[in-house]
Structure 1
């Protein structure tokens, strides 16, 4: 059988002090109670000798604070591209002295209700409610009245949320091409649907950035956000006589398909066609030439969400985190120059 844990009373007896004095020392309240330095040192030495660890369950029953938080997501926990969201959340929780429970629903409302109920039974101090893709959500009824921060999603209610700044990312994509001298032959690659937050915000930013310079998109090569669809669509466009100078791909997987189509058509990146993308997944650094991509701040999203949940109040209702431009070798001057 495992050895029994030392109790607070045993620590007090070994230190030769009262149980309350030992408690004040071990919870950092000795200064308020005017406990002598000698007594404090005896308590600390006794606790170390007995390998004393506080009973967190008993403390949580007394204080109503469990030092735990829960992250409830659809598929974010098992999505390879978003693993750093979990890392950021874990790191921030540890920095605040909390444990983080993680539950994934795969979009099943029955599973979601069960997970949230279980976390409520464990009396977690708060919730992160997360989505793999930035979107508008309806907060589950069980979370009404709870301390909640939305991670990578939004709601019409007054709940605090942390999301990537996709609008400014679109602006930055346009400005990056403009800075390289591009003024014509700029095409967007990928579906642009109003109901998809990233698509809508990125496109609005791109149009605004180009428009500020008196430039317009030359057109859109419509495809799913996946390599094979992008490859087929760009191949068709090139076969039909399209001569782009630059492609703005709506994610790195689209860029992968575009790379393959351009190479098959004998076009060089960036000598003939410049390419810029979004997400900055591992693909961006693996491609040759390496792909300029605007990064989703996964780690920062997780960290800021926990900070908002556990830190001091006062942050704006919706925090939009910067998406840095990762400049690589896929952008050059227009071929005519």
Structure 2
């Protein structure tokens, strides 16, 4: 049978003070209640000797504050590339003295409604509503009147809540400028499916265009190594002679690397390659891949900071995506 936890009354009795005095000391209110330093020290010593821990459940029933935050996502928590967003959220929650609950819906609206209802039954103070892929969402009905921040997603309406997303447009600008700075002016091909329906692809492509890079014919493929390998291999067999490839993610870059190597094309001497995401894969490839980093950790941290920090006007916050320069970009040959 577990040992009985010490009560506030026992702490007060050992310290020789009233229960209310012990409560004020342990709540940090000794100064405004004019409690002597001697009494404060006796209370603190008694609490330590008895290994006293406050009953948080009882406190939450009194105050209606549980110091808990719930992160509700589709598949964010189980994705290895986005786990840093969870770490950032956890770190910020701990810094504010809060616990973070995490729940996944796998995109099922019935599971989502049940999950949010369960969190509300547990009197969670606030919510982070998160998405694996940056996209527009419709906030669930149960969250519309609750303290909530959007993580890696946003709504089409005027912001009613803070939303934190990667600055994908500026990332496209960075990709283009990185190649332009290396002297590449032609023979630049986008590899991937730049569908208008995919927020990241649409924003990255717009950024590339606004930086002044002239793209040659795209190499269409799914955002996966096998598809990229087949598409790039086919393009090379058909006579394509790219000088640079902008891959829409690191998985595509992996497939492109394999296709170029199989065709006897060297990176970066003959073909420069730049990508997005800066996953672990980028540093494992040889030569190491220059990639533009998704700020997952910062997204998680900033979302919790906005939720638990000082109140401010709701806005969409686009977080920078820094380029990680490695060995996959070479100087363009003199033309």
1:158-191 deviations in whole A, cap 9, x for unaligned?
A: 2211111101100000010011111111110010
Structure 2 equivalent of residue 240 of structure 1: 238
Query: Alignment partner of 1:80: what SS?
Result: coil
- The answer for the alignment partner of 2:194 in structure 1 is 192
Do the aligned partners of 2:71 and 2:103 also contact (CA within 8 Å) in 1? yes
Q: Does structure 2 conserve the Cα–Cα contact (< 8 Å) formed by 1:231 and 1:261? A: yes
| 1:336 Cα offset (Å) | 3.6
Cα drift, residue 293 of structure 1: 0.2
Q: What's the CA shift for 1:315?
A: 5.9
Distance in 2, matches of 1:162 and 1:55, equals: 35
Shift of 1:334: 1.1
Shift of 1:264: 1.0
Return the offset for 1:314: 2.1
How far apart are residue 316 of structure 1 and its match?
5.1
For 1:168, which of 167, 170, 190 is the aligned residue?
170
Q: 1:221 aligns with which of 195, 219, 222?
A: 219
What secondary structure, in the 3-state scheme, does the structure 2 residue paired with 1:199 have?
A: helix
The equivalent of 1:178 in structure 2 is: 180
Residue equivalent to 1:327: 325
- Work out the CA distance in 2 between the residues paired with 1:281 and 1:86: 16
Distance 1:293 1:113, change over 3 A: same
Structure 1 runs (4+) greater than 4 angstroms displaced: none
Q: TM-score, normalised by structure 1?
A: 0.97
Equivalent of residue 268 in structure 1, options 256, 266, 279: 266
C-alpha distance in 2 between matches for 1:294 and 1:49: 53
Query: Match for residue 48 of structure 2?
Result: 48
What's the CA shift for 1:63? 1.2
Secondary structure of residue in 1 paired with 2:72: strand
- Would the aligned equivalents of 1:189 and 1:220 in 2 still touch at CA under 8 Å? yes
Pairing 1:11-22 to 2, within 5 Å after superposition: 11-22=11-22
Instruction: Name 2:69's counterpart in structure 1.
Output: 69
Give runs of aligned pairs for residues 2-41 of structure 1, distance below 5 A.
2-41=2-41
Match of residue 313 from structure 1: 311
TM-aligned CA deviation for residue 64 of structure 1? 1.2
In the alignment, the residues of structure 1 paired with residue 239 and residue 80 of structure 2 have an alpha-carbon distance, to the nearest angstrom, of: 37
Contact 1:308 1:315 in 2 (8 A): no
Contact kept in structure 2, 1:228 and 1:257, CA below 8 Å: yes
For residue 216 of structure 1, report the CA deviation from its aligned partner: 1.1
CA-based RMSD: 1.0
How far has the Cα of 1:335 moved from its partner?
Answer: 3.0
Tell whether the 8 Å contact from 2:161 to 2:314 is kept in structure 1 after alignment.
Answer: no
Q: Partner of 1:122 in structure 2?
A: 122
- Answering whether residue 291 of structure 2 is matched by residue 289 of structure 1, we say no
**Contiguous gaps of at least 5 residues in structure 2:** none
Name the SS for the 2:218 alignment partner: strand
How far apart, in 2, do the equivalents of 1:309 and 1:326 lie?
30
Q: Distance in 1 between matches of 2:151 and 2:313?
A: 14
Give the drift of 1:195.
1.4
Tell me the SS of whatever aligns to 1:77.
coil
Corresponding residue for 2:205? Answer: 203
Q: Which moved further from structure 2: 253-262 or 157-166?
A: 157-166
- Cα separation, 2, equivalents of 1:95 and 1:315: 23
CA distance in 1 between partners of 2:313 and 2:47 (Å): 40
Q: State the secondary structure of the residue aligned to 2:82.
A: helix
Deviations 1:33-68 (A, max 9, x none): 111000000000110111100011111111111010
- The number of residue pairs the alignment matches comes to 333
Instruction: Tell me the residue number matched to 1:85.
Output: 85
1:112-132, Cα deviation, whole Å (9 max, x unpaired): 111100000011110001100
